[in-house]
Amino acid sequence: MAMKRIAVVATVYRYLSHAQHIGDRFLVGYPWNGAWHRPDMKVVSLYVDQKPEGDQSAARASEFGFEVYPSIAAALRCGGTRLAVDAVLVIGEHGDYARNEKGQVLYPRYEFVKQCVEVFEHDGLAVPVYNDKHLSYSFDRAKWMVDASKRLSFPMLAGSSLPVTWRLPDIDLPLDCEIEGALMVGYGGADVMDFHGLEALQCMVERRKGGETGVRAVQMIQGDAVWTAGDAGRYPRDLLVSALSRSDTPQGQTIVDGRTQDLVAKGELPRLVKSPAAYFIEYRDGLKATLLMLDGAVKDFTFAARVNGAGVQSTQFFLSPEPNVTYSACLVSKIEEMFQTGKAPYPVERTLLVSGILESCLTSRFAGQKRLETPHLDVRYRAPRQSQHART
């Protein structure tokens, strides 16, 4: 079988951008399963939407023997008249794009995938597509992207590294378990890092009994209301303690003198977190889950859930340090698997649902932090039987 040919469609390609992290691994290989793995695939074309200072597109093209094309269609056809690649990497993260009134960065992922789909339709042939991070800032557009993949029968994978990176400890929730409550703690800004937190949360809770059946309502609140909600028991204190016990990055007094801290018992959270945010998710089957963004208290992503018969289960989603960010190697191995086999190792509906949860949460915040019914988030899917995170 001939070596698979890959087109990269990116917003920008510069050092430490997602396109560089992901794209480079197809060029120089990556650490996987204890060896340096070199994909049996070749990047043959690249489209970059913006060429900021530090742009690497021309240098990579010349070193690794591919072309930078002026349009997505040309990249997919390698300058010819028909689709000339076996797979497409769409990496619409980083770059200079506007934000809307809800604070969402308007990355052109939908536009990029739509142009790919137009080529597929025109040429009568479709190939696997990976879309980095959430599908779109708009659920409608994200839905269109997923529907297109169904309509044209091309495999699609999306999302971030969080669900597939190392876990400390290495646990997964048992398939078909009964989850009584789930909490994720993260850090960073809205519409950037919250996506990672929501996706990590989703890859855990989707394993519950009955599978994923979608989300009934969401609410995002900010400020002191987050602490009040905690005092009122809207998110379980024991799950918060458990998630934070998995953190390696408590701030505050630990920065001052290195000490360990029980941030909850000592009442440190309100002092450390100037702008807390809570994302409340009510699933259609009754499960309630919460993402707490505690910027100022921690700098990692940790999870805890109460599981019927198994007590509280908790772990850290390990984001290994820059510049290696080996977690992205875990993601690339999944992308490569889809390109090689034509099957997505986990359902794109996960990312579709998370894209919609995030959009609705940001809408809730914009609408005065009101609870919003989300009948459109009727997204049903089953989790993969096999755990997909790094463990070998």
Binding site for another protein (CB under 8 A): 15-16, 20-21, 24-25, 28-36, 56, 59, 166, 168-170, 238, 241-242, 244-251, 254-262, 264-265, 299-300, 304, 312-314, 318, 320-326, 329, 390-392
85 contacts: CB under 8 Å, gap ≥ 6: 5, 6, 7, 44, 45, 75, 76, 78, 127
Q: Of the two residues 200 and 329, which places its CB atom closer to another protein in the complex?
A: 329
* 304 C-beta neighbours (distance < 10 Å), count: 24
Q: Of the two residues 98 and 256, which places its CB atom closer to another protein in the complex?
A: 256
Distance CA 269, CA 169 (A): 24
CB of 187 to another protein, least distance (A): 12
Q: Of the two residues 18 and 133, which places its CB atom closer to another protein in the complex?
A: 18
With contact defined as beta carbons under 8 Å apart, do 219 and 370 qualify? yes
* 246 C-beta neighbours (distance < 10 Å), count: 21
CB of 385 to another protein, least distance (A): 20
CB of 222 to another protein, least distance (A): 25
Task: Give the residues across from 203 on adjacent strands.
Answer: none
Q: Of the two residues 87 and 243, which places its CB atom closer to another protein in the complex?
A: 243
- Tell me the HSE value of 288 on the side-chain side, using a 13 A CA sphere: 8
Q: Of the two residues 225 and 325, which places its CB atom closer to another protein in the complex?
A: 325
Q: Of the two residues 182 and 358, which places its CB atom closer to another protein in the complex?
A: 182
Distance CA 364, CA 319 (A): 29
Distance CA 171, CA 361 (A): 28
CB of 381 to another protein, least distance (A): 28
CB of 258 to another protein, least distance (A): 4
CB of 120 to another protein, least distance (A): 31
Distance CA 226, CA 235 (A): 10
